[in-house]
Amino acid sequence: MNISLDMKDNNQVIDVKVSGEIDAYTAPQLREALSSSAEEKGKTINVDLSDVTYMDSTGLGVFVGLFKTVNSNEGQLYLYGLSDRLRRLFDITGLGDIMNINSGVKGGAE
């Protein structure tokens, strides 16, 4: 169980490429990596999940927390590149209706 993150900070836009599995073991690493950016005012965070092979409810919790923090700081969170399985996970929980999820490309300005 491992995860890798590639983050690029382009002033107000942060692009994050996540690879591997997001579970109880790796979720804290993801949360820690994204939390300081989420707390900055007006940030747009684009998260590419196209190389995520597995995610459990702990991973969902990370994105719920991230979504709340970014929104409370007048920013935007975009998730993209979700596999059908990941998309279903967000949809069954109702998160697909409230979060900015795009199957193909990232959102937000660069």
pLDDT tens for each residue of 20-78:
999 999 999 999 999 999 999 999 999 999 999 999 999 999 999 999 999 999 999 99
Integer Cα distance of 45 and 24 in angstroms = 22
What's the confidence (pLDDT) of residue 98?
92
What's the confidence (pLDDT) of residue 70?
96
pLDDT digits (tens, 9 = 90+) for 71-108: 999 999 999 999 999 999 999 999 999 999 985 555 55
What torsion do the CA atoms of 110, 31, 90, 13 make, to the nearest 10 degrees? -10
Integer Cα distance of 105 and 65 in angstroms = 22
pTM for the model stands at: 0.89
What's the confidence (pLDDT) of residue 105?
54
DSSP state of 94: T
The helix, strand and coil proportions of the chain, stated in percent and rounded to the nearest 5, come to: 35, 35, 30
Q: Hey, what domains does the chain have and what are their CATH numbers?
A: 3-102 (3.30.750.24)
Determine contact, residues 68/62, Cβ cutoff 8 Å.
no
